[in-house]
Structure 1
Amino acid sequence: MNLEKILAISGKPGLYVLQVQTRTGFVAESLVDGKKITVNLKSNVSLLSEISIYTYEGEKPLSEIMQKIADKENKGQAISHKEDNTTLTTYFKEILPDYDEERVYPSDIKKVLNWYNMLQAKGLIIDTVVVPTVAEEAVAELEEAPVAEAKVSPKKQKATKE
């Protein structure tokens, strides 16, 4: 699951897709209503691809957790993030049995489930199979192509008058 351009912006509801970077910040489009907003560099912004969940063995990337939820739900909707805390922790324990219960709070579980359901509603829940893009294929072809030697012609000397 590719979460590279999906953002969570502190103080703003929902998730956003990074559209364009500007000199003073960036432009993001809301997944909820499709409105574009400008976000300055002082805002607290998190890329979903950089978020991890604490486990007893270390940390698990959010993309792995969302993939486990997708596998459990056959890429359908998960339970609502508005369920009571015991239901949420029981559900999350089924998804990630070794999550650190002291460091992962019910509010964190609510965010993960809310984000998953938003992404699922927009059809962004896909398999982890990475399909190479046209740009990646072009770069691979360039790396394999032999390098041509450049021919440098000697500079023409200017005739000097004596």
Structure 2
Amino acid sequence: MSLEKILAISGKPGLYELKTQTRNGFVAESLSDGKKISVSLRHNVSLLSEIAIYTYSEEIPLAEVLEKVKEKENGAATSVNHKESKAVLTDYFSEVLPDYDQDRVYPSDIKKVIQWYNLLHSKGMTDFTAEASSEEE
């Protein structure tokens, strides 16, 4: 499964997999508990494949950032929890992406990246390079 079918829905915790479109929205399945929900077009929805992290030189696609986390952790879950203090999270993220823009990437964004990585990892979705290379083509 690619990041192109994984959604972050504003106001809803966790990540969702796009299942099917309906006349006035779509059906998504929660990756954490497997429950299906109907999402209307008025919800703010982001595809993970469309999200990028600011650096001082460019925007790095989320797939590349997740791949860097995977490399740092040697394919395992993260060594820090997303509920750690701001200092711990920023230190960890500085190791993963040293030139991230600290003025535009907030601790809440770092929490989401770590939480999303661990959720995707727990579901066996750890091949982020395929998405990163297909976006560049």
TM-score, normalised on structure 2? Answer: 0.91
Residue segments in structure 1 that go unaligned for 5+ positions in a row: 131-162
Larger radius of gyration: 1
Name the structure with the higher strand share: 2
Q: Which has the higher helix share?
A: 2
C-alpha deviation, 1:129, in angstroms: 4.3
Partner of 2:112: 111
Equivalence for 2:46: 46
Distance in 2, matches of 1:54 and 1:107, equals 14
Deviation at 1:93, TM superposition (A): 0.4
Separation in 2 of the partners of 1:17 and 1:69? 21
Q: Which residue of 2 is the match for residue 30 of structure 1?
A: 30
Counterpart mapping for 1:82-97 below 5 A? 82-97=83-98
The higher-RCO structure (CA 8 Å, 6+ apart) is 2
Unaligned runs of 5+ residues in structure 2 are: 132-137
For 1:93, what is the secondary structure of its paired residue?
A: helix
Kindly state the Cα deviation for residue 43 of structure 1 after the two structures are TM-superposed.
Answer: 0.5
What is the CA RMSD across the aligned residues, in angstroms? 1.3
Contact 1:19 1:28 (8 Å CA) reproduced: yes
Name the SS of the counterpart of 2:32 in structure 1.
Answer: coil
Report the equivalent of 1:121: 122
> 4+ runs of 1 displaced by more than 4 Å?
none
Q: TM-score, normalised by structure 1?
A: 0.77
Contact 1:53 1:99 in 2 (8 A): yes
How many residues are matched? Answer: 130
Contact kept, 8 Å, 2:10 with 2:43, in 1: the verdict is: yes
Q: Percent identity?
A: 64
